[in-house]
Structure 1
Amino acid sequence: MRAASRQIRTAGGGIRGAAAVLRQEMSTLIAALRSADLSPSSWLTCGEIAVILRSAYDPAVAATLERHGELGQSLATAGPVAVNESWSRLRTDSAFHAVLWISEWPRSMVYPGFLAPLLLSTGTQRSFSLLCTPMRSDQAARDIRKKKTEYISDAAQRQRIGQIEDASQTAEFHDVLQQEADLTAGHGVLRYTGLVSVSARTADDLDAAVAAIEQAAIQASCETRLLVGQQAQAFTAAALPLCRVV
């Protein structure tokens, strides 16, 4: 609400003005998705959000909530009864959870379905979230200039000591130049964050599921890292439809 304070005041101020601004943003987003030839579903109702929250923290009851449409529709009781966070996992009502961060995306050209091994492997309960954070144009330009300066300095240093430039360094520099060209042409720059939340009934089952997901990520040409020390915060961003920035 602080970021949109001017628009909220124009719309009447307070919660009523914030709701009006939010509805306008929702309509703008729907129009943008449709102009990109995407077909968005309808917005989630309060009851649907409550069911998703309850199912994420208590997977054992998810099937019951799905069969009986009237159960679990209250946001007041949608949260977990208990949460226990440890260094490498999170325990909630009926499950153990662990969140993995995709720390390395493919370095070479891949086909559109390259994430299929990670998303479609059977026997493991998981949620995948891809967060696309827009960067301000001036911030993106500064970041690109910094990367170019670092590359040129490193290249000069390698030439001075007689080292040969390898293909990965050349590819990274070409990628920076492409980002600069896209930004100059008026396109936005996005920062991508991929999170995978893995759930299981017991701690041993969770360890086996995490190992399976890590292997599937390797097959998808990705590298994952367990977000130790921040599992509760990571679970909120990875498994819940709350659009949390990480």
Structure 2
Amino acid sequence: MTSRQVRFGPRESRGWLLGMTTPQLLLGVVAVWTTTRIFDTDTGAAARAGWILLAAVCLIVAFLPLRGRTVVEYLPVAVNYWAQRASGHDIYRGGVFRMSRDDAASMFLPGDLAHLQLITFTVAGSDEAEIAVVHDSHLKTYTAVLVLEGSTFALLETTVQTARVDAWGTLLAQLCTEGSAIARLQILERTLPDSGDALLRDWTRRGVHDGSLQAANYEQLLAAVDGSTQAHECFVAVSVDARRAGAEIRQAGGGHEGAAAVVLRELDKIADGLRTAGVRVDGWCPPRLLGEVIRTAYDPAARSMVQRRGGGTADTVGGDMGLPSGVDPRVCGPMRAENVWSHYRTDSAVHRCWWILQWPRQYVDSGFLSPLLLSSQHRRTVSIVLEPLGPSRANRRVTLRQSGVTSEAALRQRFRRRTTRRQEVEAGDVDRREAELVAGHGLYRMLGFLSVSAADLPTLEAASGEIESLAQRSQLEVARMSGEHDQAFGAAALPLARGLR
């Protein structure tokens, strides 16, 4: 039996006339209009040269590709970046500088994450267990996070791989129901250097030290851990739209408490589906664990210190007495952050982010991301943000796209423009999506992000070369988020289900 294969269609062009976006169309109109001035007999030589220069600039800005985008697409990014620099908003100071202004706030994060509020919800009937729910007052969403632990997919038998892929596809289809409360779903996997201290503390606290051969072999194995190994952490963030789930929230008691109860119910459904797909679900993130995830993303050097904590009553894996494990959410943000055009600098690291411009366009095995997930030697994060679409919305989206493809084909025929192979594949992909919807599959809006972190710029350059090489081996086309690494970091490195608009 062959392994399950997948294929992604080409990235849809956002143009509404012959593949051109509105800015491109306007610049093209200006370039065409200048031809009337160029060939005007009353125009002098100097003026004619000026009009030619204007037309050339318009065409270059509108259509010249640069690292996966056109120049006109970089203009809003550049304007926003230099506006940040001029106003001083490119530098963020956190910690006591923020807490002194608003002691009631639960989290202090930079940039477009500053308005997020963390709500602590006590789960009924679970021995006072707490779950962290992040409220976005702008988007009207509530987000909670599941902690996962999976097996090495590439080493499984083909039949087991196929069964797990089918179970995952079934879960994705189930989330695309009409009126579903889920607004976003984020899958985040990151690698972190592992010194082995946590294993040693766990063995010291809970191991059976009886002098047996098994105990001696385990101690030798722990002693062989030299700090060059890596730990893999995986999270699934689930975001619920308060407007769609209004009735359910009111039925659960209303307010933040009712919304948290609805989020917890959706988490349990997804956790059951993940277990069916062979994924081990460790549970949901309590506030201090979510604070640790965010803190170690901004300040990787703090991980070794944070891992030594274990003075809480619920801590069972060892650690120093005193503070409980994790990080207080009020201090999970960076103490200082600076957005630079080529990278994002926080407390103890510099970061760089990419967005996945194009997924594999030919059939590949379901484990096509294995080089990127398993071969990296640096601290990196892979994040996929999904938005499930209900059947009616999915049908409207596909129908509108089909109408656009048909109208573009008619315009090309009218203006005697050749239909490229890419346009043919894109049209066929729209038909395939319609067939999949008829067959009962779901439709998602999807966006992927990558990020790497390093202690200094030379190491960051080496890590960037590695991540781009591994992305190429995984048949991914990526583009750097130049000028907006601060915003991209929130989507790529933090499990907050952000990035899609």
Give the TM interval when normalised to the shorter protein. 0.7 to 0.9
Residue of structure 2 in register with 1:135 after alignment: 389
Q: Deviations over 1:183-216 (max 9, x none)?
A: 2233220122111111011123212322221222
> Matches of 2:277 and 2:474 in 1, distance apart?
26
Alpha-carbon offset, residue 129 of structure 1:
0.7
Q: Tell me, yes or no, if the aligned pair for 1:114 and 1:220 is still in contact at 8 Å.
A: yes
Q: Counterpart of 2:257?
A: 16
Relative to total residues, which structure has the larger strand share, 1 or 2? 2
Residues 123 and 12 of structure 1: CA distance in aligned 2, closer, same or farther (over 3 Å): closer
Partner residue of 2:476 out of 222, 226, 239? 222
Alignment TM-score, normalising by the size of structure 1:
0.87
SS at match of 2:446: strand
1:17-166 equivalences under 5 Å are: 17-36=258-277, 38-69=279-310, 70=324, 72-156=326-410, 161=416, 163=418, 166=421
Report the counterpart of residue 235 of structure 1 in structure 2.
Answer: 489
- Over the aligned positions, Cα root-mean-square deviation in angstroms equals 2.4
Q: 1:27/1:119 Cα in 2 relative to 1: closer, same or farther (>3 Å)?
A: closer
**Identity, % of aligned pairs?**
39
Cα 1:155–1:57, aligned 2, differ >3 Å: closer, same or farther? same
Deviation at 1:78, TM superposition (A): 1.8
Q: Against the structure 1 CA distance between its residues 176 and 73, is the aligned structure 2 distance closer, same or farther, given a 3 Å change threshold?
A: same
- 1:148-202 alpha-carbon deviations (Å, 9 max, x no partner): 2333344455666384653x44333222112101222332201221111110111
Deviation (angstroms), 1:12:
1.9
| 1:67 CA displacement | 4.2
List per-residue Cα deviations over 1:35-57 (Å, max 9, x = no partner): 55544331122222122111111
In structure 2, the CA distance between the partners of 1:74 and 1:178, relative to structure 1 (3 Å rule), is same
User: What residue identity is the alignment partner of 2:296?
Assistant: S
Matched-pair contact (CA < 8 Å) for 1:54–1:72: no
128-137 or 88-97: bigger deviation: 128-137
What displacement does 1:102 show? Answer: 0.4
CA–CA separation in structure 1 for the residues paired with 2:260 and 2:405: 46
| Letter paired with 2:303 | A
2:437 aligns to what? 183
Aligned CA distance change for structure 1 residues 173 and 241 (closer, same or farther; 3 Å): same
Number of residue pairs matched? 245
3-state DSSP class of the match of 1:224?
A: strand
Structure 2 gap segments, 5+ residues each: 1-139, 141-241, 311-323
Task: Read off the aligned partner of 2:363 and give its amino acid letter.
Answer: M
**Structure 1 equivalent of residue 234 of structure 2:** none
1:6 matches 2:247: yes
Contact map agreement 2:447 2:499 (CA 8 A) in 1 = no
Distance 2:435 2:259 in 1: 37
Aligned partner of residue 42 in structure 1, secondary structure: strand
- Asked if structure 2 preserves the Cα contact closer than 8 Å seen for 1:155 and 1:165, the reply is no
> Following the alignment from structure 2 to structure 1, what is the Cα–Cα distance between the partners of residues 299 and 451?
14
Show CA shifts across 1:112-138 (max 9, x none).
222222222333210111111112433
Aligned residue for 2:250, secondary structure, equals helix
Matched residue, 2:425: 171
Pairwise CA distance, 1:238: 1.1
Q: Is residue 301–residue 348 contact of structure 2 (8 Å, CA) maintained in 1? A: yes
Q: Quick check: 1:84–1:90 contact (8 Å CA) kept in 2?
A: yes
Deviations 1:32-81 (A, max 9, x none): 33455544331122222122111111111213323444454322222211
Which residue identity does 2:262 align to in structure 1?
Answer: V
Aligned partners of 1:110 and 1:74: how far apart in 2? 43
User: Helix, strand or coil for the counterpart of 2:336?
Assistant: coil
Partner of 1:198, secondary structure, is strand
**What is aligned with 2:128?**
none
Partners of 2:339 and 2:369 in 1: CA distance: 29
Question: C-alpha separation between the residues in 2 aligned to 1:244 and 1:151?
Answer: 30
Unmatched 5+ stretches in structure 1: none
The C-alpha deviation readout for 1:85-128, integer Å capped at 9, x for no partner, is 12232111100011110011111011122222222233321011
Measure, in 2, the Cα distance between the counterparts of 1:108 and 1:142: 26
Higher relative contact order (CA 8 A, sep 6+): 1
Q: Look up the equivalent residue of 1:26 and give its one-letter code.
A: L
